[in-house]
Amino acid sequence: MSRAPAGTITLAGKTVSRLGFGTMRLTGPGTWGDPTDRDTALNVLRQAVHDHGITHIDTADAYGPHTVEELIRDALHPYPQDVLIATKVGMIRPAPEMWAPHGHPAYLRASVEASLRRLGVERLELCYLHRIDPEILLDDQVAVLQALQQEGKIGHIGLSKVTPEDIRRVHKEQPVAAVQNALSIIDRDDPALELCRDLDIPYVPYRPLGAGSLAQSHGVLAALDWLLNLGSHVAPIPGTSNPHHLKEIVTAVAGWV
C-alpha cells in the first residue's frame, strides 16, 4: 500500500490517512439506487484503499439508500486492519434528490443494526448522527447512540451538519469523535471549524470539491491545499466515481506529509 495521502490523522482512535474518500457519488443519479457501472464503483473503492493508501472511507445508510454500504462490503470486506469505515444514520430518502432527517430513537437503533449487517461488522467504529431531527429532542437522539455504544455496537459518535452550539451541547455529556460539515474554498464560513480545533475534534469537510465543480474552476490542488492548510485537525473527504479522477485527487496532495 502506498503512503497515506496528505499524511495521517487520529480519527475514532485509529491513525488513518488525512485524505479520506467520500462515497456519496457511488450511486445512481440523484444519489439513488445502484451505480450505472457497478464494477467501476467496486474498483474505485479497491483502488482508493489498495493502490492509493486511503484508509478513511466515509459513507451513510442514506446513500442509495443502503446501496453504498453494500458496495463497500463487496469491495473491501474483510477490511484491512488500518482502514476506518465511517457511516451515518438519521436520514431518510423519500425519493431521488430528496433527504429528510429522521431521529426517532427506534429508527436510529434499527438503522445502526441494519448498517452493521450491510457492512458486515460487529461494531461501527465511527457512526455519525447524519442530521439532527428538529422534531426530536437532541438529547434523545444522542442517548440512543450512547446506548448502542455501551452495547458495543458503536465505537465512536460523530455529528454532521451541526452548529457550535450543537457541538458544545453534545460534547459536554458525550465526547464528539468527529464533526462533518460542508466546507470548501468557496464555502468558507463555518464557525464550527475553530471550535473543533479548540476542543481537539477532527473536522471532516464534506463536498470539499463542490461535487467536482471546484476541480474545474479552481483546480484540485488549490481546493484541497486550502483545506489542508486550515489545520492538522482537518481531514477532507473528496469523492468520485471515476478512477482517473481519484488518481488526480491523490496526486494533488502527494506533497503533503
- Check residue 22 and give its pLDDT: 98
Beta strands 14-17 and 8-11: pairing type? antiparallel
Q: Exposed e or buried b for every residue in 23-60, given b needs 16+ CB within 10 A?
A: bbbbbeeebbeebeeeeebbebbebbbeebbbbbbbbb
For residue 41, give every residue at least 6 positions away whose Cβ sits within 8 Å of its Cβ, in sequence order, or none.
Answer: 26, 35, 71, 75, 241
Identify the architecture of domain 8-252 in CATH.
Answer: Alpha-Beta Barrel (3.20)
Helix (H, G, I), strand (E, B) or coil at 222: helix
Q: Spell out the per-residue pLDDT of the chain, length 257, in tens.
A: 467 899 999 999 999 999 999 999 999 999 999 999 999 999 999 999 999 999 999 999 999 999 999 999 999 999 999 999 999 999 999 999 999 999 999 999 999 999 999 999 999 999 999 999 999 999 999 999 999 999 999 999 999 999 999 999 999 999 999 999 999 998 889 999 999 999 999 999 999 987 656 666 567 888 999 999 999 999 999 999 999 999 999 999 988 76
- Check residue 215 and give its pLDDT: 61
The answer to whether 206 and 212 have CB atoms below 8 angstroms apart is no
Q: Domain coordinates of the chain in residue numbers?
A: 8-252
The answer to whether 251 and 57 have CB atoms below 8 angstroms apart is no
CA–centroid distance for 251 within its chain: 21
- Check residue 248 and give its pLDDT: 93
Main-chain phi, psi angles of 233, to 5 degrees: -85, 0
Of residues 63, 79, 128, 206, which has the active-site annotation? Answer: 63
- Check residue 162 and give its pLDDT: 98
Of 134, 124, 59, 128, nearest in space to 103 by CA: 134
> Is 128 a residue of the active site?
no
- Check residue 255 and give its pLDDT: 80
